[in-house]
Structure 1
Amino acid sequence: MDVIISKVSKGIFAILPFLLLFWIFSFVYGFCAKIFYSVFGITNANLFITLLIFVLSLALLYYIGHLVDKNKEVLLIKVTEIIIGRIPLVKSIYSGIKEVLNIFSGKNKDGYLGVAYVDVGDIELVGFITKEEENMLWVFVPTTPNPTSGFVLRISKEKVRISDLTVSEGFKKIISLGVK
């Protein structure tokens, strides 16, 4: 019986990445399909009006991106963040997602001073330098494959070797379990 359970659990873990990928794709497809069908419903399947709405949507997204790039507050985004900031559970999830996206987009360059390898005995840990003091560094060492948790080390500079990886490359290393 234990052999059967072991084989079944190994089979589940073997196909789990495919199932998760399928679930994510089906969610994104469903979301895009709802938008697409709502636009066609409004336009009565008129191709010209649909394309016009699509082009205007892209122009609006470009303009919002331009304002964000120039560090100007977009009123709609600011109001939405104020509303989300008042909902306890949603606020923590939103702020975590926003922080991770800011790191990957390169907007949070002040947050991390670089990727480093920390000597701990006979092993090296991958971490992110968050603050520099006199002869000490504060290094956040995330857990794998979920980098939202981890631990913070205050360690001497001699035990830290600066890496040439970018922050996004460091996160890719951690999330991919060192494969990429």
Structure 2
Amino acid sequence: MAALRKWLFTGLLVIVPGVITAWVLAWFVGTLDVTLAILPEAWQPDRLLGFHVPGFGALLTLTILLVVGALASNFAGRKLVQWGDALVSRIPVVRSIYSSVKQVSDTLFSESGNAFRTAVLVQWPREGVWTVAFITGSPSGEVAAYLRDEYVSVYVPTTPNPTGGYFVLMRRSDCVELEMSIDAALKYIVSMGVVAPPDPLAGEAVRAVTP
């Protein structure tokens, strides 16, 4: 029985990562294939080829992103984007949603964006309980005027889905900055602590003994 149990868990360790990866890729490609609906029926790949080939939606999405990015990078494209932003900002309700989403996307995707600056260790949700979080910025405006001490904006992600979480303002002195990279911290969170980040002290020890 011990051998059977060992074989079972070994099989799970080998198969589960591949199955989950294939499932996520299939879901992602299937979602992007929906973009093919914008093409005329005569241009549909399934109609032209006579059978379905997954992945054409991903290629179409990538092409659209590249074309829009190229057009928006020149002077005329930037002016057109500014005109569109100004138009949307005059529409009630829509402008509040659009402005919020645009601010988040500008922070996450722009080359000068600074989302998830530093991985930190904070006490959450109560004193004595620690978790890994990310510094996303500093409070400003009315919030900064109310907070007398030096505070930072902190995002505390949930596990194993880091896209959900909590936004809190904490004293900088209450945040312990970590040397681990943002990618390593995210892996640590998603794996629920199973995939531990590398020990920086171990790396320094290896470099010290290397001639």
TM-score where L is the length of structure 2: 0.45
Say whether residues 1:153 and 2:157 are aligned partners: no
Cα drift, residue 105 of structure 1: 4.5
Is 126-135 or 80-89 further displaced after alignment? 126-135
Say whether residues 1:128 and 2:135 are aligned partners: yes
Identity of matched residues, %: 13
- What CA RMSD, in Å, does the superposition of the two structures yield over aligned residues? 4.8
Counterparts of 1:58 and 1:143 in 2: how far apart (Å)? 28
Cα drift, residue 74 of structure 1: 0.8
| Letter matched to residue 152 of structure 2 | W
Matches within 5 A, 1:47-66: 60-61=67-68, 63-64=70-71, 66=73
Counterparts of 2:109 and 2:188 in 1: how far apart (Å)? 13
| Letter matched to residue 155 of structure 1 | R
Where structure 2 has 5 or more consecutive residues not aligned to the other structure, the ranges are 1-20, 49-59, 140-146, 196-211
Where structure 1 has 5 or more consecutive residues not aligned to the other structure, the ranges are 1-16, 46-53
Is 100-109 or 122-131 further displaced after alignment? 100-109
Say whether residues 1:99 and 2:104 are aligned partners: yes
2:119 corresponds to: 115
Q: Describe the SS at the equivalent of 1:79.
A: helix
Q: How many residues in Structure 1 have an aligned counterpart in Structure 2? A: 148
CA 1:91/1:149 → structure 2, altered by over 3 Å: closer, same or farther?
farther
Contact 1:129 1:137 in 2 (8 A): no
Whose strand fraction is larger, Structure 1's or Structure 2's?
Answer: 1
Cα drift, residue 169 of structure 1: 6.2
Contact 2:153 2:168 in 1 (8 A): yes
- Correspondent of 2:152 among 117, 120, 138: 138
Contact 1:84 1:91 in 2 (8 A): no
Structure 1 or 2, whichever has the larger Rg, is 2
Q: Which has the higher contact order (CA 8 A, sep 6+)?
A: 1
CA 1:29/1:179 → structure 2, altered by over 3 Å: closer, same or farther?
farther
CA 1:57/1:108 → structure 2, altered by over 3 Å: closer, same or farther?
closer
